[in-house]
């Protein structure tokens, strides 16, 4: 049994893998000051509730340094294993053709590893999370760069926070582009506007690379944008799949 932990800016996803199959998944809000004791309680409760065997290994990818230590310590305390920590410095099967590799998010590394293994390159991985990230991986496994833009939840929250009368809206699929009230107007602008920006970035990357890229979509908000863009595959568990593959390379 393998424990997979993906700590994102908004949510933390915990999965368990048995016989190369990710079966049980828990999502919880990322809390930066969550302590080791609370993380231990979360992991123990999840295992007991689902009657999961004690994991023999663990791997963590995190873009929230403040939350990383608590989960790392909880894994060691609960299961007596040292988790593999994802970074560009461990074995990934990728060749990083970028500057400032230490600034590359561990989640983007995991996404790239899984996409390359499952779908082959060249490809463009789009992860719709707190930020929407684009990662280009060549057919030779070269991570050659990408783009980052504010995610749809961040955009919607900023609109509400920085204006006097615009409300905070629940993100859902817009009924139509022409909204009939303020909330519908915001939904239309956020969802269709984001999709249009994504399509533009895809077309520019394809123009610059001069290759026919496979577009792979993942992330917590992918289901809201995917119907409005051209893509090849959507895999909601891409990051966890990448963690599984990276663990196999480093265990």
Catalytic residues: 107
HEC profile of the chain: CEEEEEECCCEEEEEEEECCEEEEEEEEECCCCCCHHHHHHHHHHHHHHHCCCCCCEEEEEECCHHHHHHHHHHHHHHHCCCCEECCCCCCCCCEECCCCHHHCCHHHHHHHHHHHHHHCCCEEEEEECCEEEEEEECCCCEEEEEEEEECHHHHHHHHHHCCCCCCCCCCCCCCCCCCCCHHHHHHHHHHHHHHHHHHHHHHHHHHHHCCCCEEEEECCCHHHHHHHCCCCEECCCHHHHHHHHHHHHHC
Q: How far apart are CA 151 and CA 132, in angstroms?
A: 5
Q: How far apart are CA 198 and CA 242, in angstroms?
A: 23
């Amino acid at each position: 049994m393998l424990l997979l932990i993906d700590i994102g800016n908004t949510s933390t996803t915990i999965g368990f893998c048995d016989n190369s199959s990710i079966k049980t998944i828990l999502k919880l809000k990322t809390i930066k000051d969550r302590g080791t004791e609370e993380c231990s309680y979360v992991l123990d409760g999840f295992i007991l509730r689902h009657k999961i065997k004690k994991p023999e290994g663990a791997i963590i990818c995190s873009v929230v340094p403040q939350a990383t230590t608590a989960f790392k310590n909880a894994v060691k305390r609960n299961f007596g294993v040292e988790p593999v920590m994802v970074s560009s410095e461990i074995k990934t099967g990728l060749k990083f053709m970028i500057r400032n590799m230490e600034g590359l998010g561990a989640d983007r590394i995991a996404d790239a590893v899984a996409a390359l293994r499952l779908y082959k390159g060249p490809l463009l991985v789009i992860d719709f999370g707190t930020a929407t990230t684009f990662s280009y991986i060549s057919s030779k496994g070269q991570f050659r760069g990408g783009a980052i833009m504010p995610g749809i939840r961040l955009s919607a929250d900023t609109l509400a926070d920085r204006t006097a009368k615009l409300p905070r809206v629940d993100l859902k699929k817009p009924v139509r582009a022409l909204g009939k009230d303020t909330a519908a107007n915001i939904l239309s602008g956020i969802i269709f506007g984001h999709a249009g920006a994504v399509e533009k970035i895809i077309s520019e990357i394809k123009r610059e690379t001069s290759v026919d890229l496979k577009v792979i979509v993942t992330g917590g908000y992918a289901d809201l944008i995917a119907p409005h863009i051209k893509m090849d595959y959507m895999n909601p568990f891409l990051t966890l799949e990448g963690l599984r593959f990276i663990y196999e390379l480093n265990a």
